[in-house]
Amino acid sequence: MSVSRPFRVHSGEELPYLYPMKASPLVKDLIRSCWLLAAIVAVIAFMFVYIFQSVNTFPILYSLFVGLRIFLQGLVNIFILITLQKLVPAAPAKRKRLIRYAAGYLVVFIFILCTTPLEQYLSFPAGSGRSIKESLPSILYQGIMNNTLVIIVQNLVILRHEKTTTDLENSRLKAANLESANLLLRQQIHPHFLFNALSALKGLYKSDVHAGEAYLSHLVNFLRASLTESQARVSSLSDEIRLCNDYLEMQKIRFENALVCTIDLPEQVITKGFVPSFSIQSLMENAIKHNEVTESSPLRIRVFYEHGRIITENNLQTRSYIDAPSGRGLMNLMERYKLLSTEEVIILQDKEKFSVSIKVLSDEVNHH
């Protein structure tokens, strides 16, 4: 089984998916957050100047200017983030974070200092604004507040992306583990079947060489057909029934009239339904393995459909001795159903009958 190589989950500022810019979902989200933050700040600024009448000239233009300025400050922080990742990708996350914050505050302070004359023009009548020197404390305060707000919002976006990446990685690991478990269970099927088949073949060659050769021929055909299904989690019912028919031809050579098996399934179910690969065949094999099969007491196996489930039922004539480990086939099938769906394998037994009921799966399970 080949498992896709999982991408690494990075903490702090170790974000290799930041670039190239056009291909980065994180950068796009950061830019969208800048637009959203700018719009919110612009609306708040307009409400503030409208209520307090603190702007005497262009209140709408002033509000748009404030929003645009914080948007550009957000872009500056994104640029610093990408640049640090490109220049010093191996640097410790704490060091890159300190550089990012320091560079961000410095650039924002210079940016606000350069745009203060325009802010004053939009705020006050000509000649009534304060000088740049007098405005330095206000500029410093604005730079700290604006950049802190931008950093908080962008860190929340980065945190959300890291959580999404972590969740996706956990999902991929879980899927890989489930696939590994499913593969392990599938790999147990053929050795279990081959053990029984070769044991039967050995007995046939001792009693009837021609029957042994016919059995071997059917065994080769069966294995050839099963190779196409060996890697599949589920098989279509049509393929599963075809496999069962090949298996039954082998058993007829071995038991002749001592084994009677009927498969009665609706055509619509056969064409559209799915079951775990080798499930019905293994249930037939399980019935033959655990019961006496003689001409005086034939083993009757019936496979039929009822209420969305396929039931494999046989008359109970338990063997006193079984020359192989018991219960492994049913446990295997139950574990595979747990991996594929929430449906349970229902096992019923009374004094006369033993039955196993399995749910017919949909095509969605096949593609999942």
Domain ranges for the chain: 16-184, 188-367
What's the one-letter identity of residue 336? R
Radius of gyration of the chain (CA): 36
Give one DSSP letter per residue of 7-74, joined into a string. PPP--TT--GGG-SGGG-HHHHHHHHHHHHHHHHHHHHHHHHHHHH---SS-HHHHHHHHHHHHHHHH
Tell me how far apart the alpha carbons of residues 327 and 340 are, in angstroms, rounded to a whole number.
20
Pairing of strands 309-315, 353-359: antiparallel
Tell me how far apart the alpha carbons of residues 21 and 31 are, in angstroms, rounded to a whole number.
11
**DSSP class of 325:** -
What's the one-letter identity of residue 236? S
Tell me the pLDDT band of 328, cut-offs 50, 70 and 90: low
Closest CA to 256 of 290, 217, 320, 208: 208
Residue 44 Cα distances to 39, 40, 50, 145, angstroms: 9, 6, 10, 15
Tell me the pLDDT band of 265, cut-offs 50, 70 and 90: very high
Lowest-confidence pick of 46-55, 283-292, 354-363: 46-55
Tell me the pLDDT band of 220, cut-offs 50, 70 and 90: confident
Please provide residue 56's backbone torsions phi and psi, each rounded to the nearest 5 degrees: -100, -15
Residue 315: pLDDT over 90 = yes
Tell me the pLDDT band of 229, cut-offs 50, 70 and 90: low
Tell me the pLDDT band of 52, cut-offs 50, 70 and 90: low
Residue 356: pLDDT over 90 = yes
Superfamily of domain 188-367: Histidine kinase-like ATPase, C-terminal domain (3.30.565.10)
Closest CA to 153 of 27, 72, 33: 33
- 303 Cβ contact list (under 8 Å, min separation 6): 244, 261, 262, 263, 264, 265, 280, 284, 310, 311, 312, 313
| Whole-structure pTM value | 0.49
